[in-house]
Structure 1
Amino acid sequence: MAKKNSEEKEMSFLDHLEDLRWHLIRITVAILICGTVAFIFSDFIFEDIIFAPKRMSFPTYQWLCDISTMVGIEDTTFCAAEFPFKIQNPSVSGQFSAAIWTSIFAGFILAFPYIIYQFWKFISPGLHANERKHSRGFILASSFLFFLGVLFGYYVVTPLTINFLGNFIVSTEVSNEFDLSSFISTVRSSSIAAGFIFELPIVVFFLTKIGLVTPKIMRKYRKFALVLVLILAAIITPPDVTSQVIVAIPILILYQVSIYISKVVVKNQNKKQKANV
């Protein structure tokens, strides 16, 4: 019997598209299944997750209140009894739509390891056997970084944003009544955006693999990267220096880690080239 490898034929462009279509279908089904589970537990998701940063009992506020008290900062908003704003629903189907879309995004977060697995299954046939061997931890590493970023966004970026915007007023004549979809969007975008930002080392790994990024280039443009990080921190956080610094620090750490990863990849590639000579 002929070996399987000898029977395999190179896939055409249409075959790749068909393969990609099935991977996308599996991803969609996984998100829908996880989203359905999230919808069943929507009470828990809204009360204990979505609306938790609105309460001053949220762990981040307690921690910042303790630090403020320790350093002697008075009149801090982190130690207030409650936020001076309310959440309202201005549309008939607003709450139902919020439940549906929140469940879908929750399904995406829950299904992320499977999504990465499907992505890996799509690109892995184009890699050499030794490359697949050295990249086995890709799914675990990318999932860990994503969930770590989501937690950072939820426990750091989200409460800082809500605390600043919830207490900011232009006049005592105007009361803050936030739209339900706007509040949920703030929590969702802060968490998921941070999750993707924390994927930087994985992105750098693949860019180094294909030769678009090197440690030398990353070190050369470190100053420009610092400026971009500060701009990014300013975009995803409220316009106060403290919040921007808190967000910028882990991003800069990720950049340094990415330089190290790029260095390791280039070193392994050089060893491989010398071995083949």
Structure 2
Amino acid sequence: MTQNNPTEDSGLQESFLSHLYELRDRIIKSALAIIVVFLCLVYWAPDIFHLFAQPLLQALPVGGKMIVTDVTGSFFVPMKVTMLVAFLIALPVVMYQLWAFIAPGLYQHERKLIVPLVVSSYSLFIFGMAFAYFLVFPTVFGFMASYNAPLGAEMSTDIDNYLSFAMTTFLAFGITFEVPVVVVVLVRMGLVPLAKLKEIRPYVIVGAFVISAVVTPPDVLSQLLLAVPMSLLYELGLLIARFYVPKPSDDESDGAKDADSKGVDP
């Protein structure tokens, strides 16, 4: 029966605690970055919310307006929107802190992939939100407003409900536009062969329509505006992934470099 070495146990415990302390510091720095940006923007919170609500305001009929059904809604909703904008602006700092935390545990070829992944992920997420704001919102709100006119119904939306709808839509389209990054990572890490990803293309397209039916409003137009870009982005990911197919010679070379840096035999 083997007994644990007290020295080894103490070393493992110290290593675990040091990682926890580092993680705490990274989280604090990320939170501070978001708070600093938020404090810089908070004065313009009403203007930021007005810009945020423009797609709906433009779709309202003449004289239409947004309403507040909660006593504190007129204060907290603009604050929430401003916090969202602050998070997006500070997101590169948050990603850097995450990268700095996990980088020591990565191999050399994985570290080379981190910076392009962070830049592309951030850019695609922002592009997905812009796609929703400039194309999806005006299309969906205009489509819904056209249905209210024949019914004689007045279209007045509570600002808190609008915030919830917009946040869900932004998140859905932001994640959707990450599809090329996911495909490239799967191929580059050797988790799924490129040929297999091409083979399951029909299932991905069906899945795109299922996902769009779940996360978008119950109309065909908005579902198409999510499902079609998702399918096209999957094809883009397959196209880009061809340049990131791992080669045995590269993996052996990276393994040797990592082993040399750690002082062990590859």
Normalising by structure 2, we get a TM-score of 0.78
> Partner of 1:179 in structure 2?
158
Deviation track 1:7-59 (CA, whole Å, cap 9, x = no partner) reads xx998333323222222222211222222223222132122x22210244xxx
Q: Does 1:97 align with 2:72?
A: no
> Partner of 2:131 in structure 1?
152
CA-CA distance at 1:264 after TM superposition: 3.1
Cα distance in structure 1, aligned partners of 2:214 and 2:139: 13
Cα pair distance change 1:268/1:101, threshold 3 Å: same
CA-CA distance at 1:151 after TM superposition: 0.6
CA-CA distance at 1:181 after TM superposition: 0.3
Mapping of 1:68-217 within 5 angstroms?
A: 82=61, 86-169=65-148, 172=151, 174-217=153-196
Cα distance in structure 2, aligned partners of 1:13 and 1:274: 30
Cα distance in structure 2, aligned partners of 1:205 and 1:96: 43
Aligned length: 244
> Partner of 1:28 in structure 2?
31
Cα pair distance change 1:23/1:209, threshold 3 Å: farther
Consecutive unaligned residues in structure 1, runs of 5 or more: 1-8, 57-77
Indicate which of 48, 51, 54 corresponds to 2:53.
51
Cα distance in structure 1, aligned partners of 2:188 and 2:156: 49
Greater helix percent: which structure?
2
CA-CA distance at 1:144 after TM superposition: 1.3
Mapping of 1:222-241 within 5 angstroms?
A: 222-241=201-220
CA-CA distance at 1:96 after TM superposition: 0.9
Cα pair distance change 1:134/1:247, threshold 3 Å: closer
Q: Which moves more between the two structures, 97-106 or 254-263?
A: 254-263
Cα distance in structure 1, aligned partners of 2:246 and 2:190: 13
Cα distance in structure 2, aligned partners of 1:274 and 1:122: 26
Q: Does 1:259 align with 2:262?
A: no
Cα distance in structure 1, aligned partners of 2:185 and 2:198: 18
Matched-pair identity in %: 28
Cα pair distance change 1:207/1:84, threshold 3 Å: farther
Q: What secondary structure sits across from 1:231 in the alignment? A: helix
Deviation track 1:72-116 (CA, whole Å, cap 9, x = no partner) reads xxxxxx8xx837854211121111110221121111111122222
> Partner of 2:263 in structure 1?
none
CA-CA distance at 1:226 after TM superposition: 0.4
CA-CA distance at 1:171 after TM superposition: 8.0
Cα pair distance change 1:207/1:87, threshold 3 Å: same
Cα distance in structure 2, aligned partners of 1:142 and 1:83: 40
Cα distance in structure 1, aligned partners of 2:144 and 2:24: 42
Consecutive unaligned residues in structure 2, runs of 5 or more: 1-10, 257-265
Cα pair distance change 1:169/1:161, threshold 3 Å: same
- Is the contact made by 1:233 and 1:247 (CA closer than 8 Å) also made in structure 2? yes
Q: What secondary structure sits across from 1:177 in the alignment? A: coil
Q: Does 1:268 align with 2:246?
A: yes
Write the letter of the residue equivalent to 1:189. Answer: T
Cα pair distance change 1:274/1:102, threshold 3 Å: closer
Write the letter of the residue equivalent to 1:22. Answer: D
- Is the contact made by 2:188 and 2:246 (CA closer than 8 Å) also made in structure 1? no
Mapping of 1:54-69 within 5 angstroms?
A: 54-56=56-58
Write the letter of the residue equivalent to 1:24. Answer: I
Q: What secondary structure sits across from 2:217 in the alignment? A: coil
Cα pair distance change 1:174/1:249, threshold 3 Å: closer
Q: What secondary structure sits across from 2:156 in the alignment? A: strand
Deviation track 1:222-260 (CA, whole Å, cap 9, x = no partner) reads 111101111222334333333332332221121112223
- Is the contact made by 2:99 and 2:114 (CA closer than 8 Å) also made in structure 1? no
CA-CA distance at 1:148 after TM superposition: 0.9
- Is the contact made by 2:129 and 2:170 (CA closer than 8 Å) also made in structure 1? yes
CA-CA distance at 1:270 after TM superposition: 2.9
Q: What secondary structure sits across from 2:203 in the alignment? A: helix
